[in-house]
Amino acid sequence: MSEYHQVELGVAAFAVSFAVCLLIVLSQKWHGKLSHDHDLSGVQKVHTTAVPRIGGIGVIAGVLLGLALFQLLAPAGIDASDSAGVRLLLLASLPAFLAGLIEDFTKRVSVRVRLMATAVSAMVASALLGATVTELDLWGVDTLLAFAPFAIVVTAVVVSGGSNAINIIDGFNGLSGSTIIIMSAGLAAVGFQQGDQLVMALGALCIGTTLGFLVLNYPFGKLFLGDGGAYFLGFLVSEMAVLLLVRHPEVNAWQVLAICAYPVIEVLFSMYRRRVIKKVSPGAPDALHLHTLVFRRVVFQRVRRDASRPWNRNASVVCFIAPVVALCVAVSVIAGASASVALAIVLAQLALYIVAYRRLVHGRWSFAGRSADTVISTSA
């Protein structure tokens, strides 16, 4: 598939995703009782009005119908095997997507159930596409990965963890969407270097469908991705990473991790903070994510409240995080072919995260004279 056809595929996904997302927004008075995020008092909530949280319907439609539209307009643009691969991956994604979507409508599906559903999706992808990690460039672990059942379990953990990582950072307008686009572009770039048409097609679909959603999500927050959308897109990106490792042994796992480091570090640090420091369940919500601290400590200080633009502070968070993520991904793609360099990039991102987090939580970027607890608990 040529670069031109990749752009066409992305445009088709964008058009369908935007149309479906716009329809969701325009019709919310009929489905809002079920689709709106009515709980505005939760510890992680920063929005002030109820908004539909079923953007996942738009993004999955963008991938599925966007692919169909592209093949209708350019039937020779994508190889049949790559098209079949995308469809098989979509089939595999259904448990993860449906568990998240049911949670969006009912607010009654636990994190554990959603993670289990995503693990099932990963196992289905392993069976249908052979997407099972057998090498992670870790001494000792790679020997164990030669045992197929162990490899399948590890792959399921990696994919479900990656999908949940996207859900973790889905808290501010444009943040999860921009991260998905940046990581998809990075993984697709590595796929381009390897001549992997399937990974490139998945990258084009992810970028296009996410952009279609972002038009309604950023900056005004007219539509949320929801758990269905976050788990679906997180699953696709995670599978792009797995497919790169499975189909191209010369691609080192550290480069792939370096490209996906931001949400992975966020979810691992969140688990450590909750279980080890706060002594609560790893799935318990809190307002101490990096993006939440950026909102409380940096945005509150630098961005003035504007009554005519009540979304301006919410939308400003991505302006502080996305450029750093994009820079790290670009460096990972350009210089990460060497495992040692890629490992150094991962460690550098981890160090950057820890330094930034410590400065934020200890108030070095907060309002003068205000304690951490006061700033963190301030209403949006």
pLDDT tens per residue, range 49-91: 789 999 999 999 999 999 999 988 887 778 888 899 999 999 9
CA-based nearest residue to 318, from 188, 183, 170? 170
Query: For residue 72, what are its two tokens?
Result: 């209708």
Tally of domains in the chain: 1
Look up residue 218 and give its two tokens: 């950023």
Report pLDDT for 365. 54
How far is CA 319 from each of CA 115, 310, 351, 363, rounded to the nearest angstrom? 30, 16, 21, 20
Task: Please give the structure tokens belonging to residue 41.
Answer: 């008092």
> By CB neighbour count within 10 A (0-12 exposed, 13-18 middle, 19+ buried), where does 368 fall?
exposed
> What is the model's pLDDT at position 48?
57
**Quick one: pLDDT at residue 379?**
31
Task: Give just the sign of the alpha carbon dihedral 156, 291, 32, 64.
Answer: negative
β-bridge partners, 36: 52
Q: Using CA atoms, how far apart are residues 131 and 153, in angstroms rounded to an integer?
A: 12
Peptide bond into 219 cis (omega under 30): yes
Which pLDDT belongs to residue 370?
A: 45
pLDDT number for residue 16: 97
Domain that holds residue 29: 3-376
The whole-number pLDDT of residue 172 equals 93
Which pLDDT value is given to residue 186?
Answer: 98
- How far is residue 246 from each of residues 29, 64, 350, measured CA to CA in Å? 46, 24, 26
How far apart, in whole angstroms, are the C-alpha atoms of residue 57 and residue 98? 10
List per-residue pLDDT tens for the chain, 380 residues long.
677 788 999 999 999 999 999 999 999 999 988 898 755 555 445 555 789 999 999 999 999 999 999 988 887 778 888 899 999 999 999 999 999 999 999 989 999 999 999 999 999 999 999 999 998 888 888 899 999 999 999 999 999 999 999 999 988 999 999 999 999 999 999 999 999 999 999 999 999 999 999 999 999 999 999 999 999 999 999 999 999 999 999 999 999 999 999 999 999 998 888 888 888 877 777 788 999 999 988 998 888 777 667 788 899 999 999 999 999 999 999 999 999 999 999 999 999 999 999 999 886 554 443 444 444 433 33
Question: For residue 376, what pLDDT is reported?
Answer: 41
**Partner residues linked to 52 by β-bridges:** 36
Over residues 208-246, the pLDDT tens digits come to: 999 999 999 999 999 999 999 999 999 999 999 999 999
Say how far apart CA 132 and CA 136 lie, in whole Å: 11
Among the listed residues 299, 260, 264, 281, the one whose alpha carbon sits nearest the alpha carbon of residue 378: 299
The separation between CA 264 and the C-alpha centre of its own chain, rounded to angstroms, equals 10
Please choose, from the candidates 258, 266, 269, the residue with its C-alpha nearest in 3D space to the C-alpha of residue 340.
258
Helix (H) or strand (E) holding 213: helix 197-217
Could you give the C-alpha distances from 163 to 48, 75, 232, 278, in angstroms and in order?
27, 32, 7, 24
The vertex-129 CA angle with 7 and 77, nearest 5°, equals 25
d(C-alpha 42, C-alpha 108), whole Å: 15
